[in-house]
Amino acid sequence: MTIWEAQFGDFANGAQIMIDNFIASAETKWGLQSGLIMSLPHGMDGQGPEHSSARMERYLQQMSDSWTSLTKEKVMTFGYKPIKKNNMQIVNVSNAANLFHLYRRQLRRDYRKPLINFVNKKLLKLRDSTSSMDEMGQERFMTIYDEADKNINPKNVKKVVLCTGQAYYSALEKRKELQRNDVAIIRIEEIAPFHYNRFYNYMEKYSNCKDFVWFQEEHRNSGAWTYLSPRIQFTLDLLKKEGKLQAFNFSCVSRRNSASPAVGQKKKHDEEQAEILKELYRN
């Protein structure tokens, strides 16, 4: 196992030429497989522009999978084949056990794909992101986590919040504060390639929900929104067409578009964070 770790994720900017030529496209150009893991610290924690974003959107833009082929073929792919067919894996895991199983999976396969792992710095010290030994012993890496609170009845859910990484804990903390038992929070751990079937299976239980929201702490033109929005929309539209969902609204809650990865003041960062969480639970 070879792991290339940046002190901060944005430090990979200087390696962009190497990433473009020898990681994202090496197998396509020369038929060479690589199991390299890029561990890139990433997270909107109020530490300023150069210590916030590993530019997730750049790696997602380099993915070779196409959601438009799904709309033509009317099929969904899941599991072994999507990863084997595509050029990279892009993940943003939310707990220690899933990180362990992610790395274990990387070595146990009979093929190699580069793994771009966005590591949220906040989770290194967050107690809620730790895992028990029993969780370490689960069978596999979880590409998507369904709602974890057993007291939330899917039939009573009015809003489904979709997110990844540390955004989950921000949304969860605010939900507890507001005591909103009509909101379910789904974590997408492996962003690319997108696991349509698993997402489909989780969403069909929320048949009475009319509001689906992608929540990210990054700016609208950053993070996973641009990559995931057509894929999520396609799956939700399919569920509606099959009569498993009602008419629904799908939107994004995030920071506004910005040329900078983050603001330079902690106070302004906190104001933005409070604003997007308020918007997330507005209805």
Nearest to 123 by CA among 73, 172, 58: 172
- Span 66-81, average pLDDT: 58
Report phi then psi at 111, rounded to 5: -145, 170
The model carries a pTM of 0.94
Let me know: does 36 contact 23? Beta carbons within 8 Å.
Answer: yes
Of 160 and 85, which is predicted with more confidence?
160
Q: pLDDT tens digit string along 128-154?
A: 999 998 888 877 899 999 999 999 999
What is the token pair recorded at 236?
Answer: 């939700």
The pLDDT-based confidence of 72 (bands split at 50, 70, 90) is low
Helical segments of 9-132, H only: 16-18, 26-30, 56-61, 68-73, 80-85, 96-108
Q: What is the DSSP letter of 22?
A: I
CA distance 199 to 188: 9
**pLDDT (0 to 100) of residue 8:** 83
For residue 161 the two structure tokens come to: 């919040």
Cα-Cα end-to-end distance for the chain: 46
Reported as a single tens digit per residue, the pLDDT across 22-58 is 999 999 999 999 999 999 999 999 989 988 999 999 9
Contact 231, 194 (CB under 8 A): yes
Report domain extents, the chain.
3-280
The percentage of residues in the chain with a pLDDT greater than 70, rounded to a whole number, is: 95
Q: Which residue has the higher pLDDT, 175 or 77?
A: 175
Q: What is the pLDDT of residue 9?
A: 81
Class of CATH domain 3-280 = alpha beta
Side chain identity, residue 108: R
Tell whether the model's pLDDT for residue 226 goes beyond 50. yes
Across the range 78-92, mean pLDDT stands at 78
Query: What is the per-residue pLDDT for 73?
Result: 55
